Amino acid sequence: MRIVVDTGGTFTDLILEDAAGSLHLHKTPSHPDDPARAVLDAVAVAASAQGITPLELLSQVEMFVYGTTIATNAVLENTAARTALLTTRGHPDILMLREAGRMGLGRFDWTIPYPDPLVPRDLTFEVPERVDHAGQVLVPLDEAAVADLLAKLPGRDVEAVAVCLLWSTANPEHELAVGRLIERHLPGLPYTLSHQINPSLREYRRASSAALDASLKPLMSTYLGDLETGLRDAGLAGRLLVVTSRGALLDAAAVAAAPIHALRSGPAMAPAAGRHYARDETGDGNAIVIDVGGTTCDVSLVSGSQMAWTRESWVGQPYIGHMTGFPSLDIRSIGSGGGSLARVDNGGLLHVGPRSAGAVPGPACYGLGGQGATVTDAALVLGYLDAEIPFAHGRPLDRDAAMGAVRRHVGEPLGIETVEAAAAIIAVLSEDMVSIIDQCAVGEGMDPAAATLVAGGGAAGFNAVAVARRLGSPQTIFPDTGAALSAAGGHIAELSAEHSDIHVTRCGDFDFEGVNAVLATLIARCDTFAADAGRGAQEAVVTLFAEARYSGQIWEIEIPLRQRAFRGDEDVAAFRADFDARHAVLFAHSDPESDVEIIAWHARVACRLRDKPIGLAAGESAGEQSQSRRNVFFPGTGWHDTPVARLSDLRPEQRIAGPAIVEAPFTTIVVDPGMQGEPTAAGSLVVQPVTA
């Protein structure tokens, strides 16, 4: 057996894969103040559904996969450890100077305060040393001065140390020496060396990575240790794996040792699931993946079966938050989910999110004390949801409470009827989602009209078809496990690691010997990972990449390598052609006359642990259907006596013409007029325009 748990801001999703390879989906309310409790609650619900005790269930689990937002929340809420930064003398302001920029309307708002650095200036200490770009020592490390500096830290209540010295990527000896001094003078104090965690050429990114990683070590080592102890005490016999920001898996102990991997852990599983469903259901290599939960809408792209990556991932708002400087899946998030609160501002404009009703008290229709008007309340008013079917919190929905909340917070301020106010909430939600998708697509050079929309998350079904129509996407896929898309991705994700090194060369004067030596070292490190952490894997694949740019450019783009070594000029020419082609896709032009400079080299190893599961177990649903038709409001056409079908009851090639409602486990899919849905052999629902 295999269990994947994804702890979100509103619900905790669990998908159990049984011995036959079938999936069983469960949802429980999250506990923001005690995430581990939500994990154990979800396990108890899954065990009860199987008719066994949690001890009996966990004793059969070979792999327990966990996605969490603990690390991200700690940085956003400024509850990570009190961290000191040691850097080269004369350069104490690396985290202060940052990388400049502004987003959206904020680019014109000069009242926005300059963000505080991740490590305050009074905890930044200068180390007497200096290495140049070639790795030559200009100023030897003053170990006595470092020892004196370290002696001051306990009195400053420092809980962790980040070390980022200039050009440590060219010569790491000074950073390594500082690490040894920390172990000698402050034994047991967590620390991170920048050249080890993120060998990046850019100082701010490397320093930010080191500071983030160090600040999370006390929290994550304790939390993951306690979680594993709790699961072991509850009967877990198998391996505990944690989802990383790359959408891959690592052992919990490895993540505790380098917790920067856990940043944006939860959302990172959805792109892998979206790629799988798009490829299996349509064979299409281009997909837009949305994961709409209770609090956020996460957007990611798949281009040519490759998930979009970035080395400019931020925790918090770009340029105001903190850059991880770390390779991760490119996932953009907005505060648009089922629990997002609707409000009308003083100018009479309707906004949806980013504030959310969250798990507590939740939408008004939950009857748990929520007073605001949420997206879920609007969906209930419009008839998308059946009030008689128990929702994920186990109780029927209160339609009167939803009507009252929508009327008070939206209808009356705008002077419109309650049902029109509910439709306006869904419309604004859709426009916000279209806007963030367009931003992502432009950045990757993708045309949304040529990509499949894969919709997951409990709230995606309310408006994903409408979003696809606005984008011009040819079809929308709703997987059978879509209500827990991220958790489903955990069943597909691979155990993976990335190793990097900097070695600068040019296509016009290529350093064959130096580059091949770097690649051989990176491949060897991947092979070691596969033999150790990946032992027993069914397959291990090593993929090589390089970061390159035209001479004179500032930023690099990542290019896959066709081979494991460069044998001659033909291999260099092929790389150059790939670079020009990728540059043209991203920026709509290339420059064949300019030389190409390669800065860094990367090797990723992916270990496939198991075959993919076969799909959701037959007959599972959130509850019995109480009716086969109900009255549903569709903007532009009004109320319709609408057929209601259960996704698990549909058979392949059985077309469902809109307007229609299709209910799946823990989600409802709205098929608009002019659209039609068709179930697939794998259990998904594909919605397309009737003319298609």
542 shares a domain with 470: no
| Residue 581 falls inside a structural domain | yes
Looking at the structure, tell me whether residues 543 and 667 fall in a common domain. Answer: no
Mean pLDDT of 431-441: 92
pLDDT score for 171: 95
Last residue of a domain, one of 489, 505, 523: 489
Q: Are residues 420 and 345 in the same domain?
A: yes
**Tens of pLDDT, residues 648-689:** 888 887 889 989 999 987 889 999 999 999 998 888 899 999
Confirm if 21 and 37 have CB atoms less than 8 A apart. no
Q: How many residues does the chain have?
A: 692
Residue 552 has pLDDT above 50, yes or no: yes
- Indicate if the pLDDT at residue 626 is higher than 50: no
pLDDT of the residue at 318? 78
Residue type, 413: P
- Residues 330 and 436 grouped into a single domain: yes
- 534 and 573 part of one domain: yes
Range of the domain at 459: 282-334+431-489
For residues 575 and 530, membership in a common domain is answered with: yes
| pLDDT value for 620 | 47
Whether residue 105 lies inside any domain: the answer is no
Number of domains composing the chain: 4
676/568 same-domain check: no
- Domain match, 536 and 456 both: no
Query: Within this chain, do residues 503 and 566 fall inside the same structural domain, yes or no?
Result: yes
How buried is 51 (Cβ within 10 angstroms: 0-12 exposed, 13-18 middle, 19+ buried)?
exposed
Q: Which of the two residues, 334 and 284, has the higher pLDDT score?
A: 334
Q: Are residues 358 and 303 in the same domain?
A: no
Whether residue 616 is contained in a domain is answered as no
Backbone angles phi, psi at 300, to 5 degrees: -145, 165
**Is 415 part of any domain?**
yes
Of 469, 489, 509, the residue that ends a domain is 489
Q: Residue 431: pLDDT above 70?
A: yes
For the segment 235-263, what is each residue's pLDDT rounded down to a tens digit? Answer: 999 999 999 988 889 999 999 999 999 98
- What rounded mean pLDDT belongs to the chain? 89
In a domain, 167, yes or no: no
Q: Is residue 309 part of a domain?
A: yes
Q: Could you tell me if residue 554 is inside a domain?
A: yes
Region of residue 623 (phi > 0: left; psi between -120 and 50: alpha; otherwise: beta)? left
Distance CA 384, CA 399 (A): 11
CATH number of the domain to which 459 belongs: 3.30.420.40
pLDDT of residue 328: 85
Tell me: do 503 and 604 sit in the same domain: yes
> Using alpha carbons only, what angle is made at residue 326 by residues 297 and 481, rounded to the nearest 5 degrees?
35
Residues 69-124: pLDDT tens digits?
Answer: 888 888 888 889 999 999 999 999 999 988 877 665 556 777 777 788 999 999 99
Does 300 reside within a domain?
A: yes
Residue 619 clears pLDDT 60, i.e. is over it:
no
The pTM is what? 0.85
Last residue of a domain, one of 472, 489, 506: 489
Report the C-alpha gap between 316 and 321 in whole angstroms.
4
**Is pLDDT of 486 > 70?**
yes
Bridge partners of 540, per DSSP, are 607
Find the CATH number of the domain harbouring 574: 3.30.1490
- Let me know whether 390 and 513 are in one domain: no
pLDDT band at 321 (very low <50, low <70, confident <90, very high): confident
